[in-house]
Amino acid sequence: MPLELSYLVAAVFLYFGMIIVQATLANLENNPAKLAGARDGITDKGVMLCRARRANANMVEAMTMFVPLVLVAYLTDNLNDMTQLGCGLFLAARIIYAPLYWFGIPWLRTLVWFAGLVGTAMVAFQILPFTGAN
């Protein structure tokens, strides 16, 4: 399996871990019996839980760009050193980004988010025909 697809799978596992963090925080904040139901009337009150939800939403947004680009690069045989570097940068940035968001660390979180975006762009530029990367 190409390294880029391994990074993609690792990103999915990272997101799964982020969901576990959010679920754990939700269970600590709310009655688990209420969480087992329809969750009507339950609102997040804790700062950490709210941050975990926002971090997860941001991960979904990032993955909606990253996943198709990696798959297109793979399917069009455009994998190279730059796609490996871009995928690695994306994954590393997302691993660092989640706890920075959970613990509310400003500026560094934004810088790390941007690094992940650069990684995604690195993959994208390898599939665009006008970039000369093909």
Residue 22: partners with Cβ closer than 8 Å, 6 or more residues away: 49, 52, 53, 56
Question: CATH no. for residue 94?
Answer: 1.20.120.550
| Of 94, 69, 118, residue with least CA distance to 17 | 94
| Of 2, 18, 5, 3, residue with least CA distance to 94 | 18
This prediction's pTM: 0.91
Q: Residue 19: give the domain boundaries.
A: 3-131
Q: Which tokens is 69 given? A: 């680009």
The count of structural domains within the chain is: 1
User: To which residue do tokens 């963090």 refer?
Assistant: 21
Q: Rounded to whole angstroms, how far apart are CA atoms 84 and 121?
A: 12
Task: Read off the pLDDT of residues 47-78 as tens digits, 9 standing for 90 and up.
Answer: 999 999 999 999 999 999 999 999 999 999 99
